[in-house]
Structure 1
Amino acid sequence: MLRTSILNRIEETSIMAIVRVHTMKRAVEIADGCLAGGVDCLEISYTLPNAGEIIRQLNEQYQEQLLVGAGTVLDSETARLAILAGAKFIIAPNYNESVCKLCNRYQIPYMPGCTSMTEMIIAIEAGAAMVKAFPISTYYGPTLIATLKTPTPHLPIMSSGGANLKNIDEWLKSGVDCVGIGSLLTKGTKEEITENAKKLRQAVIKNRMQIN
């Protein structure tokens, strides 16, 4: 899958589940719930040692149904292992030049966490596919995106933290390219995850209809 195709799919869905799981059984419950609700992008966090195996098994089970990537990737060694496990994108809470170079070498989108405009421009100029507004999304809320895009309207931004069912419309109207969602898409039963995913996707569709 080409880098551009991966990015197009992320932007099309506009919602990404941020997943931390201890077992494959729970990963499947989350994946099934998200897919049933229309969310097909999952970030599997490397905060847990089984992340690579979860990525590998999800890819084997769901094939093209799911777009599975790796999160909390702090170094190039972890990035390489994640890519070998089948990760289609790499996300981190920080920017790391060696990770950026490795991802570009294998045409895997890299989305590093950045706090300042300076960090974001450095990351994009180095080849990052998108920047993750982290941890500032939680603190500033949806107005952050509009503020960042005023001087750099073409800067692709993913939010991480602070989005919920009550303010998802505000986030989407702000111009954010993808919204990272944790608890809403990873906690509770499969049915609850499905319901939350449906509401989030409905918000995406509604926002696009208003723009068009």
Structure 2
Amino acid sequence: MKKANILLKLEKSGVIAVLRSETKEEALKTIDALVNGGLTGLEVTFTTPQADEVIRETISKYKNDSAIVVGAGTVLDAMTARIAIMAGAEFVVSPMFDADIAEICNLYQVPYLPGCMTITEIKTALRSGVDIIKLFPASTYEPSFVDAVKAPLPQVNIMPTGGVNIENMEQWINKGCVAVGVGGNLLAPAKTGDYDQITKLAKQYMDKYHEIKMVTV
């Protein structure tokens, strides 16, 4: 049930913030700003210093908020995946598919979201037990690519990441994407310490997402 519950939380979150912070402190402040704006899907990339500590402290801080889901991103090998999982990561994301990462995630019943670009890669990932495909980089494709994938693979769940923003997320979601990964302009204000702006942007993203999904909040 653990894996199914996490997948449900990811789908309910809808917008997953991809954090690439320069320091642990910046990451933690950014997460607080995002949560204050109503955003509940958090991917802490392992390009962030002390990413495992960021994950551990975030999960501890928000343990009473059942909507928040915290995962690890830019995971390049099984060793890093296990470090992330031991820190409490509820999902693991990589820029490519890796069978060893899939195996360790399956062992711990943690969803694995690998980056894929082709039907062949997607098929390989699905055969390894992957539940959500990270279409990466999404900026390489038009949203209509989702239709092309779902024609032979209607069962696939897709989360586009890289190039997704508040202007085009509706196109992706309306194509049936289970969620979208967002970084870029949502998190850019962290570089100047403007965390209030991140909160405002997070609220705009979530308002837009709920408008698209026609969900009353």
Q: Does TM, normalized by the shorter one, top 0.5?
A: yes
Structure 1 equivalent of residue 91 of structure 2: 89
Question: Is contact 1:184–1:193 with CA below 8 Å preserved after alignment?
Answer: no
Corresponding residue SS for 2:90 = coil
Corresponding residue SS for 2:44 = strand
Q: Equivalents in 1 of 2:172, 2:32: separation in Å?
A: 25
Q: Which 5+ residue runs of structure 2 have no aligned equivalent?
A: none
Alignment of 1:58-207 (within 5 A): 58-65=58-65, 66-135=68-137, 137-188=138-189, 189-207=194-212
Shift in Å, 1:64: 4.3
Q: What does the per-residue CA deviation read over 1:131-186, in whole Å, with 9 as the maximum and x for residues that have no partner?
A: 11112x11113222232223222201111111112212112112111100002332
TM-score (norm 2): 0.90
- AA matched with 2:108: Y
Q: Equivalents in 2 of 1:159, 1:82: separation in Å?
A: 22
Q: Equivalents in 2 of 1:45, 1:92: separation in Å?
A: 9
Identity of aligned residues (%): 36
Structure 2 equivalent of residue 51 of structure 1: 51
Instruction: Give the root-mean-square deviation of aligned CA atoms.
Output: 1.7
The alignment of Structure 1 onto Structure 2 pairs a total of residues equal to 209
Question: Is contact 2:24–2:48 with CA below 8 Å preserved after alignment?
Answer: no
Q: What does the per-residue CA deviation read over 1:16-39, in whole Å, with 9 as the maximum and x for residues that have no partner?
A: 000012333322321122112221
- AA matched with 1:172: I
- AA matched with 1:86: G
Change (3 A) 1:114 1:64: farther
Structure 2 equivalent of residue 25 of structure 1: 25
Corresponding residue SS for 1:68 = strand
Q: What does the per-residue CA deviation read over 1:94-122, in whole Å, with 9 as the maximum and x for residues that have no partner?
A: 11111101100100000111110111011
Q: Equivalents in 1 of 2:64, 2:145: separation in Å?
A: 33
Q: Equivalents in 2 of 1:141, 1:98: separation in Å?
A: 30
- AA matched with 1:146: D
Structure 1 equivalent of residue 213 of structure 2: 208
TM-score (norm 1): 0.92
